[in-house]
């Protein structure tokens, strides 16, 4: 069993995804863990379309969309390939990384149907913090709504890993969640619920239930002041991208821009590897 209680809801959803016959059934049963949509009418095509709308929009917002047809991308936390299919159509090579091996199998299926499977590799992040990928081997390391689900030290380890695997001159685009007013209630509730995921009998049930999974699965709040010292010496042209609804982080010497597509509780670290 994995040592981290925050892995439980993901491995539970991964196991549930293995029990489904078709990829459309996987989306109906477990798709909500990725894009919070439910309903019997859902199918894989509609699920992938939600990713299609986000991939290019983010790359353009971050100024990372030029020349990507010749580039490689590593996606940290791919899930069942909601965005991976689109990335595989845009980039020459894509490596999808995830904590859950069953998600990666489904990701291959998603890319086979809606992307370019011959461009895809997968990487199982067995310990939740180490990427089995060579140093300086990718053009872009990208992660969306994943690092917020990791133990704080794992999120910081994956941040360092993202920089390690990116070639000099390549980029990182990494998404984090930080504090908002609603955390006064959400954060303590999340801690209690996460603790319950390990209780024999009831824990696995709570981890698979939509409401409790959602309350418990955000395992950290990380702001730029905590993340930047981990990697700043290896990056240049660092930029923080936040929601226009959020006040500036105000880190000395670090550029900040806003993008309407960023959730007010989220921020992105964009940087070029030295
Ligand atoms: C909310 S989903 C996002 C998936 C994808 N980025 C998307 O937008 O559809 C979070 C993903 O991160 C994965 N994950 C959670 N903790 C992880 C960790 N420590 N290392 C790697 N992947 C992790 C989960 O298994 C899940 O597939």
pLDDT at residue 92, as a whole number:
98
Question: Domain residue spans in the chain?
Answer: 5-273
pLDDT at residue 201, as a whole number:
87
For residue 71, the 8-state DSSP code is -
Q: What kind of fold does domain 5-273 have according to CATH?
A: Rossmann fold (3.40.50)
Cα–Cα dist 202/180, whole Å:
30
* pLDDT tens figures, 40-89: 999 999 999 999 999 999 999 999 999 999 999 999 999 999 999 999 99
Cα–Cα dist 218/188, whole Å:
11
* pLDDT tens figures, 137-168: 999 999 999 999 999 999 999 999 999 999 99
Cα–Cα dist 143/159, whole Å:
9
CA of 252 to the centre of ligand 1 (A): 31
Ligand 1 atom closest to the CA of 79, numbered from 1: 27
Pocket perturbation via mutation, ligand 1, pick of 15, 44, 130, 146 by most ligand atoms within 8 A of CB: 146
Total residue count of the chain as it appears in this document: 274
Q: What strands lie across the sheet with 72-76, from one edge to the other?
A: 120-124, 93-98, 72-76, 138-143, 166-177, 266-273, 235-242, 255-258
CA of 149 to the centre of ligand 1 (A): 7
For residue 62, the 8-state DSSP code is T
Ligand 1 atom closest to the CA of 4, numbered from 1: 19
| φ, ψ of residue 37 in degrees (nearest 5) | -110, 140
pLDDT at residue 1, as a whole number:
52
Cα–Cα dist 264/250, whole Å:
16
Ligand 1 atom closest to the CA of 144, numbered from 1: 6
> Which residue is closest in CA terms to ligand 1's atom 5?
78
């Amino acid at each position: 069993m994995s040592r981290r209680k925050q892995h439980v809801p993901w491995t539970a959803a991964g196991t549930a995804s293995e029990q489904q016959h078709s990829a459309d059934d996987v989306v109906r049963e477990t798709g909500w863990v990725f894009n919070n949509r439910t309903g019997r009418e859902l199918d894989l095509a509609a699920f992938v379309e939600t990713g299609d709308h986000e991939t290019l929009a983010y790359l353009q917002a971050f100024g990372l969309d030029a020349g990507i047809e010749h580039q490689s991308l590593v996606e940290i936390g791919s899930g069942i390939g909601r965005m991976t299919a689109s990335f595989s159509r845009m980039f020459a090579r894509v490596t999808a990384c995830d904590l859950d091996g069953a998600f990666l199998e489904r990701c291959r299926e998603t890319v086979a149907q809606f992307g370019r499977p011959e461009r895809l590799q997968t990487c199982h992040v067995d310990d939740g913090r180490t990427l089995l990928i060579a140093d300086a081997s990718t053009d872009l390391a990208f992660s969306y709504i994943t690092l917020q689900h990791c133990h704080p030290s794992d999120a910081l380890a994956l941040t360092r890993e993202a920089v390690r695997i990116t070639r000099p001159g390549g980029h990182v685009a990494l998404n984090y969640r930080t504090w908002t007013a609603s955390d006064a209630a959400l954060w303590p509730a999340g801690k209690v619920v996460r603790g319950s995921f390990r209780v024999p009998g009831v824990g696995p049930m709570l981890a698979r239930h939509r409401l409790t999974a959602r309350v418990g699965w955000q395992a950290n709040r990380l702001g730029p002041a905590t993340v930047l010292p981990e990697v700043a010496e290896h990056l240049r042209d660092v930029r923080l991208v936040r929601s226009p609804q959020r006040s500036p982080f105000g880190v000395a010497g670090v550029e900040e821009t806003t993008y309407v597509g960023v959730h007010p509780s989220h921020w992105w670290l964009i940087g070029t590897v030295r």
